[in-house]
Structure 1
Amino acid sequence: MKRIYLSGPMSGLPGLNFPTFHNMTTSLRAGGHTVTNPAEINPEGGTWTDCMRRDIAVLMDCDTVATLPGWEHSQGARLEILIAERLGMTVVNAYDLATRESAAVPEFSKLM
Structure 2
Amino acid sequence: MPEGSPARIYISGYGLPEINRAALIDEADRLTAYGYNITNADLPPDLPGKADRLRWSLQMLLSSDLVVQLPGWEINTSARLESSIASSLRMPIVPADFVTDGDVLGKLALARQRAKSRQSAKPTKRH
Q: TM-score range with shorter-chain normalisation?
A: 0.7 to 0.9
Number of residue pairs matched by the alignment: 97
Q: Which residue matches 2:110? A: none
Q: Which residue matches 2:22? A: 19
Unaligned runs of 5+ in 1: 103-112
The 5-angstrom pairing of residues 21-100 of structure 1 reads: 21-37=24-40, 40-43=42-45, 46-97=48-99, 100=100
Q: Determine the C-alpha separation between the residues in 2 that align with 1:43 and 1:25.
A: 18
| SS of residue in 1 equivalent to 2:38 | strand
Q: Determine the C-alpha separation between the residues in 2 that align with 1:8 and 1:43.
A: 19
Identical-residue share of aligned pairs (%): 33
Residue in structure 1 matching 2:12, options 7, 12, 20: 7
- Normalised to the residue count of structure 1, the TM-score between the two structures is 0.78
Alignment-mate amino acid for residue 91 of structure 2: M
- Computing the radius of gyration from Cα coordinates, the structure with the larger value is 2
Alpha carbons 2:14, 2:24 under 8 Å: kept: no
Note the C-alpha offset of 1:45. 5.6
- Normalised to the residue count of structure 2, the TM-score between the two structures is 0.69
Unaligned runs of 5+ in 2: 1-5, 103-127
Once superposed, what is the RMSD of the aligned Cα atoms? Answer: 1.9
RCO higher in 1 or 2 (8 Å CA, sep ≥ 6)? Answer: 1
